[in-house]
């Protein structure tokens, strides 16, 4: 997703090999308003002719312009008319079209032709399995027609499409359908009108042979909305969950945020070739099939949750992104951070509040914390960029959501709702900024957010040091904070950090009152009376702030909190801290054999208590059984040795599997008796079954292989079958080969399930995993042209520490080879494989040199895309 380089932000549009830096401080309003756009498409897979008619008026808020710059990308104008007359005084500036305009109002008509079948970038108008579809965020619209392709140019759109009826029986665009009819020679046409002004990045068109799961929804004001989920005919039975999720999200948004849908129709289309997860185009959401299609035979419980979350996310954008959009791409977190928070809250409401919170924090720590501590660190509102697609990051999305969640925590739910209502009321129909949102929260929720704005401008994960002391009957909590240096920001100011804390009496296990403390200085102390002895500290409860907590805490206290803390996240965190502390000490050689044995025994005791705790639901139990990831462990060290991390973590899992073998076996046998259902109890049972198999596989591979093979054969759902195959894929067992072959033969032709087949092998613990990846890359079903398939094989390998960090550097070379091969085909997808290599500064010297050498090899290649070039340059520093 690319950003507009207009004359208001840069003097010229450079060629791809000469990227310029776009700066937020250089923003100026565009010189022309474009209140109305009419588009006429003569559709064809090989060639589509586009006629764009633009109504123009001078923008009184911008400096006077004697010409208009229309952005283009791989376009040539067929004809240009100004006020009905053919003109030839236009000229090109790089990829852009410059048309002189002397009056205060004009009409432009521009004809272009595009080749959808040749569009491997999957941006603009492209072909996917015989259908036509669009992806325009951030700069895709300029690949369809010449246009001021920037988010602050808002227009109403009328769209007419015509094409062969047999090839394109369904014709869809934004807004409401207005007319349709038959044409000559087997063609037909349809007209759509979107009455709500929108930026060009929200334009959408789909034409193809599709069928719909159709239903309706009645809004809180009584309007009936037609709902359609369009898919290929064979996929129709797998759309029920998506439709249920859509209706639930519409109702929840009305009840929780007061937001009602505003068109007569809401359409979703599932596309198999898609760079991202989904796109919120007004009234016509285009989705990766991965986030629409689900049934128990082909989708896991995690897939069902992901479908519901992404369906909700894109629907929620109708207000937080569409009705109120971004002034410029620096404000991306205005819509994405807010909407991620909204979809997280929806998922918490629909499922387990505690488990969803833990899952979201795990994602943040796995993806965003490393980003914050590496060469690609940036604030949630960046100050500059070269290629905007590189800023669709965990920082903008996930940390952006956490920043807004902190406002909600400090304000309370009722006041936060007042702030969000004020934001929507003030800026409906506008292109707004992050500052507009913060100001609405101040005025509506009654918050003072002057210092809080630092969360928008400073990169890095704050580190909070906590120490609890005791004297008399008073416990005192001493807090300090530091925001580490990041590229371009060597020094940081203290930020307001809301921390929920509670103190537990160690003797009775009783908890004192929960407090919300705001640490807004470098250091602060808080006193709590009524404790005769030093209590146990539960801090950052519910993960109230996206920070790293550093404190010296005895193992006994962590064991106590893991058993007694009534905050689910804090209990999970105590278990994680207990394991992380032990593993980091072991990895860095600080433990003798007696200390190692004592540490392992404490962990086994805590984990055993989790296994035997009858009060725990199995969904939460499953979370508490998950060991900290190798990437998160690496983040706890200044310089990490991936080989040592992998060995110590694997050894601990084997120890726990052996020590608690009878408990894991009993847990597995109990869970295996729970019949399949889509409720929390059955989903939790499936979750702990897989976790039990993982531990047993580490300690007794033969027994685990037997159980996993049996589970695979008896499975009546994908969660159980995939869980069993995941365990088998990491074992050197005859059953591994048999079940992988059976899985492929069983699901051959189902692209999403075959993606799982690739990913399970590339992400496995098998010692020959890299050899398997090389072989799979030559498989007839593998292709570089489909992003889902590329990610299923190579991203699964890139996040598999054993494979990616192979001691001989073969994993690094494999990813570099992929980037060089993929970049000419799909730069956006290729660039997303660079960050794993960019972590070289945090890795031990031998591997670091290997990683850096691969980045240098990529940098030395000619004709890199802007996407990849920027990522590589920033990673090298």
pLDDT at 12: 30
8-state DSSP, 78: E
What's the number of CA atoms in the CB half-sphere (13 Å) around residue 432? 25
Q: State which H helix or E strand residue 349 sits in.
A: helix 332-350
8 Å CB contact between 58 and 77: no
Cα distances from 482 to residues 13, 57, 373, 498, 639, in angstroms, run: 40, 50, 13, 15, 20
The Cα 288–Cα 269 span in angstroms is 8
Q: What is the largest CA-CA distance in the chain?
A: 93
- The low-confidence residues of the chain, meaning pLDDT below 50, are 1-17
Q: Are strands 463-471 and 474-482 parallel, antiparallel or unpaired?
A: antiparallel
Describe the chain by its helix, strand, coil percentages, rounded to 5.
45, 20, 35
The alpha carbon of residue 701 and the mean position of all alpha carbons in its chain are separated, in whole angstroms, by 35
The Cα 304–Cα 293 span in angstroms is 9
pLDDT at 239: 98
What is the torsional sign of CA 785, 791, 792, 798? positive
8 Å CB contact between 191 and 202: no
8-state DSSP, 383: S
8 Å CB contact between 544 and 500: yes
Instruction: Reply yes or no on whether 314 is catalytic.
Output: yes
What's the number of CA atoms in the CB half-sphere (13 Å) around residue 821? 12
pLDDT at 421: 98
8 Å CB contact between 457 and 354: no
Q: Phi and psi for 674 in degrees, rounded to 5?
A: -80, 120
Count Cβ neighbours within 10 Å for each residue of 814-839 and write b for 16 or more, e otherwise: bbbebbbebbeebbbbbbbbbbbbbb
Given the residues 139, 314, 359, 557, the one annotated as active site: 314
The Cα 397–Cα 405 span in angstroms is 12
Residue 853 structure tokens? 């050498």
The alpha carbon of residue 511 and the mean position of all alpha carbons in its chain are separated, in whole angstroms, by 36
From 855, 877, 842, 876, select the one nearest 484 (Cα to Cα).
Answer: 842
Q: List CB contacts of 735: < 8 A, sequence separation 6 or more.
A: 705, 706, 708, 709, 728
Q: What is the pLDDT of residues 751-808, one digit of tens each?
A: 999 999 999 999 999 999 999 999 999 999 999 999 999 999 999 999 999 999 999 9
Residue 832 structure tokens? 């997303």
pLDDT at 449: 98
What is the torsional sign of CA 320, 322, 326, 330? positive
What's the number of CA atoms in the CB half-sphere (13 Å) around residue 872? 26
The alpha carbon of residue 757 and the mean position of all alpha carbons in its chain are separated, in whole angstroms, by 22
Rounded to 10 degrees, the C-alpha dihedral 251/255/259/261 comes to 20
Beta strands in 389-506, from DSSP E residues, in sequence order: 430-432, 463-471, 474-482, 497-504
Residue owning tokens 């007569």? 264
The Cα 236–Cα 225 span in angstroms is 20
pLDDT at 20: 86
Residue owning tokens 């590229």? 487
pLDDT at 14: 36
From 567, 699, 588, 598, select the one nearest 578 (Cα to Cα).
Answer: 598
What's the number of CA atoms in the CB half-sphere (13 Å) around residue 37? 28
The Cα 477–Cα 473 span in angstroms is 13
8 Å CB contact between 808 and 787: no
8 Å CB contact between 481 and 518: no
The Cα 791–Cα 830 span in angstroms is 10
As to burial, measured by CB atoms within 10 angstroms (0-12 exposed, 13-18 middle, 19+ buried), residue 636 is: middle
CA distance from start to end of the chain: 23
Residue owning tokens 């796109």? 279
Residue owning tokens 């979350």? 309
- Secondary structure of residue 752 in the 3-state scheme: helix
Cα distances from 178 to residues 113, 158, 332, 533, 712, in angstroms, run: 25, 10, 32, 74, 51
Q: Phi and psi for 658 in degrees, rounded to 5?
A: -75, -45
Q: State which H helix or E strand residue 666 sits in.
A: helix 661-672
Rounded to 10 degrees, the C-alpha dihedral 677/678/680/685 comes to 50
Q: List CB contacts of 771: < 8 A, sequence separation 6 or more.
A: none
Give the percent of the chain with pLDDT over 70: 98
Enumerate the β-bridge partners of residue 182: 188
Residue 303 structure tokens? 């897939």
Q: Domains in the chain and their CATH numbers?
A: 1-209 (2.60.40.1730), 356-457 (1.10.390.10)
The Cα 656–Cα 605 span in angstroms is 10
- Secondary structure of residue 475 in the 3-state scheme: strand
The Cα 74–Cα 812 span in angstroms is 33
Cα distances from 667 to residues 103, 582, 611, 710, in angstroms, run: 77, 25, 7, 16
The Cα 396–Cα 180 span in angstroms is 41
């Amino acid at each position: 997703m690319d950003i507009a380089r207009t004359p208001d932000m840069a003097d010229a549009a450079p060629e791809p090999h000469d990227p310029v830096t776009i700066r937020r401080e250089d923003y100026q309003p565009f010189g022309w308003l474009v209140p109305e756009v009419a588009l006429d498409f003569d559709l064809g897979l090989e060639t589509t002719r586009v006629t764009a008619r633009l109504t123009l008026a001078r923008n009184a808020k911008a400096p006077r312009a004697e010409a208009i710059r229309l952005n283009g990308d791989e376009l040539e104008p067929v004809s240009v008319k100004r006020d009905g007359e053919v003109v030839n005084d236009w000229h090109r500036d790089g990829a852009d079209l410059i048309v002189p305009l002397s009056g205060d109002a004009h009409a432009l008509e521009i004809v272009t032709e595009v080749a959808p079948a040749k569009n491997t970038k999957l941006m603009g108008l492209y072909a996917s399995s015989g259908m036509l579809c669009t992806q325009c965020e951030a700069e895709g619209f300029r690949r369809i027609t010449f246009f001021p392709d920037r988010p602050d140019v808002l227009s109403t759109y009328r769209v007419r499409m015509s094409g062969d009826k047999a090839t394109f029986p369904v014709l869809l665009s934004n807004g409401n359908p207005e007319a349709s009819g038959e044409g000559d020679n087997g063609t037909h046409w349809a007209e759509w009108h979107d009455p709500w002004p929108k930026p060009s990045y929200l334009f959408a068109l789909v034409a193809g042979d599709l069928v719909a799961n159709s239903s309706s929804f009645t809004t809180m004001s009584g309007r009936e909305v037609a709902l359609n989920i369009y898919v290929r005919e064979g996929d129709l039975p797998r759309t029920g969950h998506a439709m249920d999720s859509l209706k639930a999200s519409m109702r929840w948004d009305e009840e929780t945020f007061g937001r009602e849908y505003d068109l007569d129709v809401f359409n979703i289309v599932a596309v198999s070739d898609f760079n991202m997860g989904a796109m919120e185009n007004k009234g016509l959401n285009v989705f990766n099939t991965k986030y629409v299609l689900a049934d128990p035979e082909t989708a896991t419980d995690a897939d069902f949750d992901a479908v519901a979350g992404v369906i909700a996310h894109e629907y929620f954008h109708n207000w937080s992104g569409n009705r109120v959009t971004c002034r410029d791409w620096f404000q991306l977190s205005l819509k994405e951070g807010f909407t991620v928070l909204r979809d997280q809250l929806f998922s918490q409401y629909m499922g387990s509040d505690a488990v969803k919170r833990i899952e979201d924090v795990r994602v943040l720590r796995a993806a965003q914390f490393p980003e914050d501590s590496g060469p690609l660190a940036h604030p949630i509102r960046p100050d500059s960029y070269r290629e905007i697609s590189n800023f669709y990051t965990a920082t903008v999305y996930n940390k952006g959501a956490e920043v807004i969640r902190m406002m909600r925590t400090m304000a309370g739910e009722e006041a936060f709702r007042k702030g969000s209502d004020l934001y929507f009321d003030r800026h409906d129909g506008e292109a707004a900024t992050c500052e507009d949102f913060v100001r609405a929260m101040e005025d509506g929720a009654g918050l003072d957010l002057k210092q809080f704005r630092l969360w928008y401008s400073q990169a890095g994960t704050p580190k909070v040091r906590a120490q609890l002391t005791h004297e008399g009957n008073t416990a005192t909590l001493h807090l300090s904070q530091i925001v580490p240096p990041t590229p371009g920001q060597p020094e940081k100011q203290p930020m307001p950090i809301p921390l929920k804390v509670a103190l537990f009496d160690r003797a009775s296990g009783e908890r004192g009152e929960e407090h919300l403390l705001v640490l807004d200085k470098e250091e602060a102390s808080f006193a709590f009376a009524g404790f005769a002895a030093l209590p146990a500290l539960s801090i950052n409860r519910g993960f109230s702030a996206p920070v790293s907590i550093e404190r010296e805490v005895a193992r006994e206290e962590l064991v106590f909190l893991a058993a007694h803390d009534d905050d689910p996240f804090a209990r999970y965190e105590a278990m994680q801290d207990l394991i992380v502390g032990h593993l980091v000490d072991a990895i860095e050689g600080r433990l003798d054999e007696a200390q190692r044995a004592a540490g392992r025994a404490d962990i086994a005791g805590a984990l055993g208590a989790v296994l035997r705790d009858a009060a725990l639901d199995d969904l939460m139990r499953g979370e508490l059984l998950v060991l900290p990831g190798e990437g998160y462990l690496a983040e706890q060290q200044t310089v990490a040795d991936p080989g040592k991390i992998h060995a110590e973590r694997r050894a601990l899992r084997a120890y726990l599997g052996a020590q608690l073998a009878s408990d894991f076996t009993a847990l597995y046998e109990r869970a295996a008796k729970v019949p399949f259902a889509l409720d929390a109890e059955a989903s939790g049972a499936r979750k702990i079954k897989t976790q039990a198999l993982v531990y047993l596989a580490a300690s007794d591979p033969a027994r685990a292989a037997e159980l996993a093979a049996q589970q695979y054969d008896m499975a009546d759902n994908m969660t159980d079958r995939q869980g069993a195959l995941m365990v088998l894929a990491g074992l050197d067992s005859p059953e591994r080969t048999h079940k992988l072959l059976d899985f492929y033969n069983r699901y051959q032709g189902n692209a999403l399930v075959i993606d799982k087949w690739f990913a399970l092998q590339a992400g496995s613990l098998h010692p020959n995993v890299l050899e398997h990846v090389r072989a799979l890359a030559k498989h007839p079903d593998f292709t570089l042209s489909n992003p889902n398939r590329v990610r299923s094989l190579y991203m699964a390998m890139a996040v598999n520490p054993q494979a990616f960090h192979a001691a001989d550097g073969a994993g690094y070379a494999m990813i570099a080879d992929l980037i060089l091969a993929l970049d000419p085909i799909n730069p956006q997808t290729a660039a997303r494989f660079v960050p794993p290599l960019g972590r070289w500064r945090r890795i031990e010297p031998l591997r670091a040199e290997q990683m850096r050498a691969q980045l240098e090899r990529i940098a030395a290649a000619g004709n890199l895309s802007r996407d990849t070039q920027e990522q590589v340059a920033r990673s090298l520093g």
